[in-house]
Amino acid sequence: MLWRRVPVSVCIVPGFHFNYSLLPLQLARSVSSLKVVWRKDPKLDEAIENDKKYKVCARVVREVLNEPGQVIPLRYLEKRRERLHLKVKVRTFLDQNPALFDTYQDRIRPRTDPVPFLRPSARLKLFLEEEKRINAHNEGLIVSKLCKLLMMSTNRVISADKLVHVKREFGFPNDFLVNLVPRYPQYFHLVGSPGEGKSFLELVSWNPDFAKSAIQIRAEEESRMTGIRTRPNFHVKLPQGFFLRKEMREWVRDWLELEYISPYEDVQHLDQGSPQMEKRTVGVFHELLSLSLFKRIPVPILGKFTDDYRFSNAFSSVFTRHSGIFYMSLKGGIETAILREAYKGGVLMDRDPLHEIKDRFVELLEEGRRERAEQVRIRRESLENELKMRAMENSSAGNRDLLDEGMKSGKDM
């Protein structure tokens, strides 16, 4: 048995810290044979659940903005409810989110009757201008993210259609291939036309400043703060209620002691099933999630890059095998990989600067909902006052009728 001296403390079981001076090296065991039981993390599931309303609203807005002239007949949008995952009728949605659209009458074709159309509201247009401003302010960050995605790939080239498909995951503007990429010929070369057959985005030059992972940057910052050289490695901490079997704890402990492999290194010499390749694969997923807007990405989207980043076909098992680094959420019937260290409870703490766009959109939604609630309150109070007035009038009329009957009875006597 081999032994290695390890100066590291890792929390693999909640409330219990390993701090060994000598550890057995047991990494010869096949990575694929290591199994970890999936456990639900309600707080991280809640983070996904809390974004549902925002995402539905964003989908509906994109649907309208993608229409010619950015207008759409209301009944056309109603037919697309299922595809948009809109559970209520469009009119109900508009009533619930009054800040998004204006409704007006127009003809779909000449000589037809006017029907309701939707167009962006003045407030939504102001938000779209603010979105452009935020993207422009963070253009350097967007360029570095795009470079990093290419730099991690095997041949420094990725299908343009794939990048378009994940643009919202990383916060890329809708028109990044058309407007942003041509402004940086020193970094990018677009081959072909996206959406019209095979099209690829190639990396033109390697920027060493971009070739540092989030883990390496964190280690450098810790070294500067403490004055002690910190070795790059993963933060591993399981939440309360999670537990690993002894053999798995030992494997993770020894695996963590392997040298960190940057996701930007060339690893074509590594065997796909080796612990070293596992270390590199975890590093790539960690970096991808660190670059993402919400520090989480649906697993099917990650699967589109299997060839680009040399993932194995069973790559999703990485997220359960390394439960102290990732969490695999099954919320909404979709597997979503989440970076644990980015969250505290169910709250995202590691906030991307581009996250400001979501904040502004949510503010717009809440502003409209508050106004709607106030209008409903005013209408309700007005109705209640009207009913009270009618009741008082009816009561007064009833008293007068009684008085008249009494006086009539007196005369008859």
- For the segment 156-178, what is each residue's pLDDT rounded down to a tens digit? 999 999 999 999 999 999 999 99
Torsion 11-12-17-20 (CA) sign: negative
Please list the alpha-helical segments (H only) found in 70-190. Answer: 74-79, 90-96, 122-137, 139-152, 160-165, 167-170
Where do the structural domains in the chain lie, given as residue ranges?
1-33+138-353, 68-130
| H or E stretch at 355 | helix 355-412
The dihedrals phi and psi of 75, each to the nearest 5 degrees, come to: -70, -30
Q: What is the pLDDT of residue 32?
A: 52
- pLDDT tens, N- to C-terminus, the chain (413 residues): 333 333 333 444 343 333 333 334 455 455 555 667 788 899 999 999 888 889 999 999 999 999 999 999 999 999 999 999 999 999 999 999 999 999 999 999 888 899 999 999 999 999 999 999 999 999 999 999 999 999 999 899 999 999 999 999 999 999 999 999 999 999 999 998 877 778 999 999 999 999 999 999 999 999 999 888 989 999 988 877 777 778 888 888 888 899 999 999 988 888 777 888 889 999 999 999 999 999 999 999 999 999 999 888 888 889 988 989 999 999 888 999 999 999 998 899 999 999 999 999 999 999 988 888 877 788 887 787 777 787 777 776 665 655 566 555 555 55
Tell me if residue 31 falls in helix, strand or coil.
helix
Single pTM value for the model: 0.83
Could you give the C-alpha distances from 158 to 165, 166, 216, 242, in angstroms and in order? 12, 12, 24, 37
The dihedrals phi and psi of 331, each to the nearest 5 degrees, come to: -60, 135
Could you give the C-alpha distances from 44 to 14, 68, 171, 342, 354, in angstroms and in order? 17, 39, 21, 11, 21
Write the CB contacts of 363 (distance below 8 Å, at least 6 apart in sequence): none
- For the segment 15-58, what is each residue's pLDDT rounded down to a tens digit? 333 333 333 445 545 555 566 778 889 999 999 988 888 999 99
